[in-house]
């Protein structure tokens, strides 16, 4: 496990409790065994709990010295004889639930200064309204008419613009800035996030590029998480919307007027151009690019480093430049590899 100076378990769990949290069963070992330490397969020792989810790590499972492991039924036979085993339908999800029980403080980032309440070194406009149990750390600025709900933490040097609304039990990381936005409950905005700045709108022409006023907002629904240094532009003449439960990685750009559905996943360095719409449960791989005014249907998946220029039907998996159905893309890649191999053999 990483340095315990930062994350210390708050309790121990029996193997039976681990199985219950993971939605599985104890397949081998003493159910009363107590565990509080966790580690990856290749680093786990005789006091540690570990897990296997990806089959490529089965060789590490065979060699592990862990006290106990969470895994799927099909991998039970690969676990060393002396290792206790919890069989669970989804080992990765099960391990996540165990980690939440052991390290509840790691489920939401902490403040950076350790302060509670309102720091005397924060600047809060007298017309701002804060509910009880809000923490505002040193150097934070909260503008006129802003409203912040109970239990939310505003970290050092964050800026909350005039009129912004932030719900309860949220988190705004250090140096983040939020303007022209309505933010729901339990929203996590990591360090350096930029919400609500101008969208990239210009009427281009031979006489120069005329700036188009951006008069919309950003609406972020409940339980959204936005990674460090990601940016979400406010709408030009309508709202930019991020649906509930959506998870956005570090370094993602969301353009003006974009609508992202519920429980979507946007992986690092993804860029979504203005006025595109994503349905629910859409997944965009790292460095994927989406052109403007494109519609991606619910449940669609886009492979990393792909370029989406056309609408994608619901439930479709696509990849490539330009993006196309995944099987078609893979056939093209395979054909090119064969052609390249043939040319090399001719030389």
CATH number of the structural domain 13-106: 3.40.1390.10
Terminal-residue alpha carbon distance, the chain:
52
Res 148 pLDDT > 90: yes
Which regions of the chain carry the CATH code 2.160.10.10?
A: 176-327
Q: How far apart are CA 234 and CA 245, in angstroms?
A: 19
Is the domain covering 176-327 a CATH 2.160.10.10 domain? yes
Residues of the chain with CATH 3.40.1390.10: 13-106
Q: Nearest Cα to 254, choosing from 189, 205, 321?
A: 189
Q: Quick one: average pLDDT of 272-277?
A: 98
Report CA Rg, the chain.
Answer: 24
Predicted model pTM = 0.93
pLDDT above 60 for 4: no
Report the DSSP pairing between strands 208-211 and 202-205.
antiparallel
Q: Which of 42-51, 77-86, 107-116, 225-234 has the lowest mean pLDDT?
A: 107-116
Give dist(CA 191, CA 112) in Å, integer: 10
Active site residue 123: no
The one catalytic residue among 75, 180, 190, 256: 256
User: What's the mean pLDDT in 237-262?
Assistant: 98
């Amino acid at each position: 496990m990483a340095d315990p100076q930062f994350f210390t378990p708050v309790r121990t769990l029996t193997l039976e409790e681990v199985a219950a949290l993971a939605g599985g069963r104890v397949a081998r070992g003493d159910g009363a065994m107590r565990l509080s330490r966790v580690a990856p397969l290749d680093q786990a020792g005789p006091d540690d709990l570990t897990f296997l989810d990806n089959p490529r790590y089965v060789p590490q499972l065979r060699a592990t010295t862990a006290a106990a492991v969470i895994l799927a039924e099909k991998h039970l036979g690969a676990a060393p004889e002396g290792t206790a085993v919890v069989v669970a339908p989804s080992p990765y999800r099960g391990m996540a639930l165990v980690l939440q029980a052991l390290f509840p403080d790691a489920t939401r980032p902490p403040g950076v200064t350790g302060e509670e309440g309102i720091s005397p070194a924060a600047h809060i406009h007298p017309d701002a309204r804060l509910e009880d149990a809000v923490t505002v750390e040193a150097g934070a600025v909260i503008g006129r008419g802003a409203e912040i709900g109970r239990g939310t933490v505003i970290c050092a040097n964050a800026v909350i613009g005039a009129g912004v609304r932030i719900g309860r039990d949220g988190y705004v990381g250090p140096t983040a800035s939020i303007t022209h936005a309505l933010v729901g409950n339990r929203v996590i905005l990591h360090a350096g996030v930029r919400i609500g700045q101008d969208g990239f709108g210009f009427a281009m022409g031979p006489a120069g590029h005329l700036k188009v006023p951006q008069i919309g907002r950003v609406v972020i629904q409940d339980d959204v998480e936005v990674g460090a240094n990601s940016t979400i532009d406010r709408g030009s003449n309508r709202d930019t919307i991020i649906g509930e439960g959506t998870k956005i990685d570090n370094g993602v750009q969301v353009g003006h007027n974009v609508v992202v559905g519920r429980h979507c996943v946007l992986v690092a360095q993804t860029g979504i151009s203005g006025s595109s719409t994503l349905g629910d449960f859409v997944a965009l791989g790292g460095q994927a690019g989406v052109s403007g005014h494109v519609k991606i249907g619910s449940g669609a998946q886009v492979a990393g480093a792909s370029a989406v220029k056309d609408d994608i039907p619901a439930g479709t998996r696509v990849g490539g430049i330009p993006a196309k159905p995944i099987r078609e893309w893979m056939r093209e890649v395979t054909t090119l590899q064969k052609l390249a191999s043939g040319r090399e053999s001719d030389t």
